[in-house]
Each structure stands twice: as C-alpha cells, then as structure tokens.
C-alpha cells in the first residue's frame, strides 16, 4: 500500500501534512536510540512498503527509517503512531516533562514532530496517526492495512507492551518483522518490556527474540 492509499484508508483522503503552519518550529531531533542497526537492517533486508512505528516522540527514529528507505531507493511509508502526549516516564521526570512543551495545559509535542518531518524533507514518506496504540491497531485492521515491519517504542510498562504486542500482531503480515525497544535480557531500566516480549514469544511459539544494544526483534511465521 503506498502513501496515497494509506491516507485514503486512515485519513479519508486528507493529507495530514497539507497546509503546514507558517511558524514551523526549528529542527529538534532529541530522542532515544533512534538510530539502531536493527532499524536499518529491517529496511534493507525486507524492503518494506509499510513500516508502522508505535511511539515516535519528535520523530528521530521515524526520520531514520524514512531516510534509510530513501537511500536504498525503497518506495515505502512509515506510519507514525503516537498520541504525542508522552508516557508515564515523561510525565514523572521534570526534564522530560518540559520536552512535552505544554500549552494551556496540553502537550504540543506533535508540532515539533511535524516541523522535523517537513524540515528534514521526509513528509512524503511519513503518515502520522495520532491515536493511542490499541485504537490505531484496530483502525488499521478495520481498514485492511498490513505492515511489513513494526517498531514498538511506546509505553514501556509490562501491561502496555503485552497489550501492544497482542493488538499489533494481526496487523503484521506473515513473514514480517517486529522490533521492540528497551528490551534488555538483564532487566535494564524497563524490565516489563523484556518480560512482556519473552512471554509473548513463548505463548505464540515465535522464534527469538534476538537482541542487540537495547532492542529486540522477531519474525512472524509465514
């Protein structure tokens, strides 16, 4: 499915990046582990048409995926799913909370993401989907959108990750690749991620997960 078809399926044909505001914010690519070999390998090995990223923040990892596709002549789109409202770890930490740039009592993080995509020239390879993860997965399932690659980097609590894995598994095509962030076989900062991924792979009889530098990956059987 190309970007045009994704916008028809998810946005009733209205391009969310049309008519950007004149007062675009400056580029701000603060993120976490946004450049990672698993993301580049997913692009070069699967040559995906549709990547879904759940948890985008300011878009640094979205940009890396979109750029890597462009560099390899792959005509694909990243569907960037995020509420752009932050997660518990952002709200609980005063410095990260400031990054949400609340205005009149509501985060304005999406405006930073929007500016980054437009200023970095990848808007024609990205479709934002400002919904919570479970609703976004259901919308994509209803609209018949499947993903070749899913990068999960949203809520890091065990219950969130477990729910996200179950919600997104039907959206991933057979043979597709699932990548999850903040996986650490030694526990790490978010041990719930590791517990949820390991439990999911055991329950669904999935080989893996394989992990490297804080991310893990596993394939959906054909």
Strand partners, 129: 81
Q: Which is nearer to ligand SAM, 11 or 221 (CB)?
A: 11
CB of 221 to ligand SAM, least distance (A): 26
Q: Which residues bind ligand SAM (CB under 6 A)?
A: 31-32, 34, 55-57, 60-61, 81-87, 132-133, 153-155
Q: How far is the CB of 34 from ligand SAM (least distance, A)?
A: 3
- By C-alpha distance, which of 131, 143, 145, 127 is closest to 18? 127
Tell me the CA distances in angstroms from 200 to 62, 73, 147, 193, one per residue in order.
25, 34, 19, 11
CB closer to ligand SAM, 61 vs 194: 61
Nearest partner of 50 among 157, 145, 169, judged by Cα: 145
Q: Which two tokens stand for residue 30?
A: 């603060």
Q: Name the residue nearer to ligand SAM (CB basis): 48 or 86.
A: 86
Q: Residue 153 Cβ, how far from ligand SAM at the closest point, in Å?
A: 4
- In three-state secondary structure terms, 32 is coil
Contact by Cβ (8 Å): 18, 9:
no
User: Which residue number places its CB atom closest to ligand SAM?
Assistant: 31
Write the DSSP assignment of 37-100 as a string of letters.
HHHHHHHHHH--SEEEEE--TTSHHHHHHHHHHHHTT---EEEEE--SS--HHHHHSHHHHHHT
Closest approach of ligand SAM to the CB of residue 137, in Å? 10
Of the pair 34, 194, the CB lying nearest ligand SAM is at: 34
Min dist. Cβ of residue 134 to ligand SAM (A): 7
Of all helices (H) and strands (E), which one includes residue 168? helix 158-168
**Least Cβ distance, residue 167 to ligand SAM (angstroms):** 10
Nearer to ligand SAM, 148 or 182 (CB): 182
Shorter beta-carbon distance to ligand SAM: residue 4 or 88: 88
């Amino acid at each position: 499915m190309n970007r045009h078809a994704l916008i028809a399926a998810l946005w009733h044909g209205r391009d969310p990046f049309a008519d950007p505001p004149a007062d675009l914010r400056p580029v701000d690519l603060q993120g976490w582990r946004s450049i990672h070999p698993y993301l580049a390998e997913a692009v070069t090995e699967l040559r995906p048409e549709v990547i879904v990223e759940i948890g985008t923040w300011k878009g640094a990892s979205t940009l890396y995926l979109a750029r890597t596709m462009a560099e390899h002549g792959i005509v694909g789109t990243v569907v960037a799913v995020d509420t752009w409202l932050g997660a518990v770890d952002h709200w609980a930490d005063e410095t990260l909370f400031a990054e949400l740039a609340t205005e009149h009592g509501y985060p304005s993080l999406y405006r930073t993401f929007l500016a980054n995509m437009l200023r970095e020239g990848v808007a024609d390879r990205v479709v934002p989907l400002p919904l919570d993860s479970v609703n976004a997965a259901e919308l994509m399932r209803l609209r018949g959108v499947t993903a070749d690659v899913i990068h999960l980097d949203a809520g890091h609590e065990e219950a969130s990750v477990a729910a996200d894995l179950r919600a997104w598994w039907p959206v991933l095509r057979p043979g597709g690749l699932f990548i999850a962030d903040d996986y650490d076989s030694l526990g790490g900062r978010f041990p719930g991620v590791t517990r949820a991924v390991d439990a999911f792979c055991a329950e669904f009889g999935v080989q893996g997960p394989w992990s490297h530098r804080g991310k893990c990956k596993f394939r959906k059987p054909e």
